[in-house]
Structure 1
Amino acid sequence: MVRWLLVRQVQQLAVRHSRHNRRQHFRDGEQGSFTLEASLVLPLILFCTITVLFVSLYAYQKVYLQQIARTAAERLAFTWDNSHKDIVTGNFNPSETDGLYFRLTQNHVSDLFGRLVSNESSEIALPSGTAGDLVERKLAKASELLPQGVTGSAKFSNFILDQQVEVKLQKPFHFSPVMSKWFRANQTGGTAVSHVVEPVELIRLTDITRTYFKTIKDRITPQKAREALVEPAQGDLSGPSITIKSERQAAAYLRSLVNGTEVVLTTESGKSRTVDALDARGIGHQAFYSLTEAQLRMEQLPKDLELIQQGTQVKSVVWHFFKKDAGGKGMPSNAFRKELERKGIVVVIHN
């Protein structure tokens, strides 16, 4: 019995010693330390990775909206002089315009000959399906450039000497509820401002100011001046319709068009050349109605090239081609036109 108790105590001491050794080995060994560090660091690394991912997506969407806003503002400013221009390509029909005086009467400028003050800025929401006056219709064209899900506003400000188009865009950004609460960012946005620049109009207004304002000063009342700003009828812009049926009729029409005279010149080689219309600037205009390319190349072209090279009797030469019918019969080919342009002859096609 005593022997059995001794054996039992020895076994218990051995078990206790073994457990103590295992605990000490786990405490002093590297395997337990690695497991503990991994359990603490891995969630932090995962959180940082997800945060960087969402921040990158947020920055990308913000830059994307900024680029769209900048493009929309620049294209609105570029096409501001004509609401009929395509917002992307800038193409337009020459017969479609906003009128001669839209900058004074429909561009948020009032009382030109009085106080010369500007109206309030005009702003519309984007995308916009409806618009009121001319300014709002121009701003509404920016809707064509917006991708789906992007909203915002377009604003036009006229400071007389400085006209600005401002576009503001925003788009929802889908954060997780937790990150949305932390970062407080539920949407991204972009803003761009572009200035309306019209070099041709600036030169025209400057010339009018220098030339005519001194002349009309104190000779017309502001009321009379405003009444004079009447848009010409669109039908008057195209001029009268003329039908050309012969070479002689084409030459006569050309002389009336350029206010030129018919002259007979002699080239350096002694050849005689009849110019249909020589204008005041020394430009020779020639009308063609029925001659073929072979005839033009053999008979007319050498004489005109001599005149151009001589440079004393004519400064330059313009060839005017008049269509015989709607199909364009008698028109020069593209290859012949390019050949003429390379040799310094300007080609004009009349419908």
Structure 2
Amino acid sequence: MPIRISKTTAQLYPVRQVRRPAVHRKPKRNSLATSEQGSFTLEASLVFPVILMCTVTLLFLGMYVYQRVFVQQMARSTAERLAFTWDNSHKDIVTGNFNPSKSDGLYWRLTQDNISDLFGMLTGSGSSQIQLPALAANGQVERKLAKASVLLPQGITGTAKFVNYVLDRQIEVKLNKSYIIPPFVDKWLHVNKTSATGISHIVDPIELIRLTDITRTYFQTIKGRISPQKAKEALIEPEYGDLAGPEVTIKSERQAAAYLKKLVGGKEVVLETVSGLSRTVDALDARGIAHQAFYSMTEFQLRREQMPKDIELLKQGTQVKGIVWHFFKKDASGKEMPSSSFRKELESKGIVVVIHN
């Protein structure tokens, strides 16, 4: 509640007024040199472009290093895949799968692998090199190198090179990929592409064994007695390059048995089972494997007559070490072939089933 002072009280007790001393202030200076207003904005405008350029430069430098590592890995893996599939041009360069009936021939290492002569010194006959990616190539070596185009992604180019030093065969892959960067970054880094080189050595145990054996056994014997040209002429490729052999037409049980004897190098024998039954084997090979040819017999006859005897021979284990049934089909439809259930039954009893087309 406010206190009220009466007029009489104010006259008795007068209020003394106190004067405050005057404060003299200095006048403000509006000089730009001494003012701190806007200093942060000015400093930021000067430093930010430098920080931005450094950040962008580091970003493009990191991208360049990544691309270079990628191209280097691509070059190494391409060289390794070429070396791995070098022994057969029909191999898939990605998986290594191939059809066993397709090959480059028996003497491709001597006639189609950049070897100058049959018994040459330890020097190569030059090198083969192609540009990647390659749409077509001439020659066996060039076609093998051209398979590397499948592995290269779009935008990568380069070369693939093969060098044969007889004891050391090398695959060299050089790849390039363009690298686009801003002009001001290029002034600092001076790079407009990434390059990498991959080298892989071809390791072929089969060739090493053959060369060692032929050098140890025949080199001293035929040295100076035959010219390199005549030696090359003596290397005749097999008549059936697909390893399938000549085509044979089977028209009877007797003809199938004769073909089987020739195929496995066996002879016809008559065996006696434990129960006293007689069993005629079409071809018993040198390893004790009994081979039987079937052309016109039905599954009922095989279950009743042949299968019990062979099961007894297998259980006995003294006269034969194994039994193989060879089925020859009469026509392309394969109607005379054993059914899948009968084939599984034979295999469960230990009888191997071979089907001839």
TM-score range, shorter chain: 0.7 to 0.9
**Equivalent of residue 53 in structure 1, options 53, 59, 68:** 59
SS of match in other structure, 2:94: coil
Residue of structure 2 equivalent to 1:142: 148
Give yes or no for contact 1:155–1:165 (8 Å, CA) kept in 2.
yes
> 1:267 offset after TM fit, Å?
4.0
Which one-letter code corresponds to 1:187 in the other structure?
A: K
> 1:169 offset after TM fit, Å?
1.0
Larger deviation, residues 208-217 vs 61-70:
208-217
Structure 2 residue 208 is matched with structure 1 residue 228: no
Give yes or no for contact 1:124–1:140 (8 Å, CA) kept in 2.
yes
> 1:238 offset after TM fit, Å?
4.6
Q: Deviations over 1:196-219 (max 9, x none)?
A: 222333334444445555665565
TM-score, scaled to structure 2: 0.77
Give yes or no for contact 2:127–2:162 (8 Å, CA) kept in 1.
yes
Residue of structure 2 equivalent to 1:288: 294
SS of match in other structure, 2:73: helix
**Equivalent of residue 166 in structure 1, options 172, 197, 205:** 172
Counting helix residues as a fraction of each chain, which structure ranks higher?
Answer: 1
Tell me, which stretches of 5 or more residues in structure 2 are unaligned? 1-21
Which one-letter code corresponds to 2:287 in the other structure?
A: R
> 1:141 offset after TM fit, Å?
1.8
Give yes or no for contact 2:162–2:171 (8 Å, CA) kept in 1.
yes
Which one-letter code corresponds to 2:195 in the other structure?
A: G
- Change in Cα spacing, 1:108 to 1:35, as seen in structure 2 (3 Å) is same
> 1:297 offset after TM fit, Å?
5.8
Q: Could you say what the CA RMSD is over the residues aligned between the two structures, in angstroms?
A: 3.6
For residues 1-351 of structure 1, the aligned pairs below 5 Å read 16-17=27-28, 26=36, 38-39=44-45, 42-113=48-119, 115=121, 117-210=123-216, 212-213=218-219, 216=222, 220-233=226-239, 238-268=244-274, 270-291=276-297, 296=302, 300-301=306-307, 303-332=309-338, 345-351=351-357
Q: Deviations over 1:5-58 (max 9, x none)?
A: xxxxx9xx97944969xx77x57xxxx776566555544553444334323322
> 1:307 offset after TM fit, Å?
3.8
- Change in Cα spacing, 1:339 to 1:197, as seen in structure 2 (3 Å) is farther
Give yes or no for contact 1:111–1:117 (8 Å, CA) kept in 2.
no
TM-score, scaled to structure 1: 0.78
Give yes or no for contact 2:102–2:242 (8 Å, CA) kept in 1.
no
Tell me, which stretches of 5 or more residues in structure 1 are unaligned? 1-9
Which one-letter code corresponds to 2:118 in the other structure?
A: L
> 1:254 offset after TM fit, Å?
0.4
What is the distance in 2 between the residues matched to 1:33 and 1:303? 108
Aligned residues: 333
Q: Percent identity?
A: 68
What is the distance in 1 between the residues matched to 2:280 and 2:44? 98
What is the distance in 2 between the residues matched to 1:105 and 1:349? 37
- From the CA coordinates, give the structure whose radius of gyration is larger: 2
> 1:255 offset after TM fit, Å?
0.4
> 1:192 offset after TM fit, Å?
1.8
Which one-letter code corresponds to 1:202 in the other structure?
A: L
SS of match in other structure, 1:46: helix
- Change in Cα spacing, 1:119 to 1:339, as seen in structure 2 (3 Å) is farther
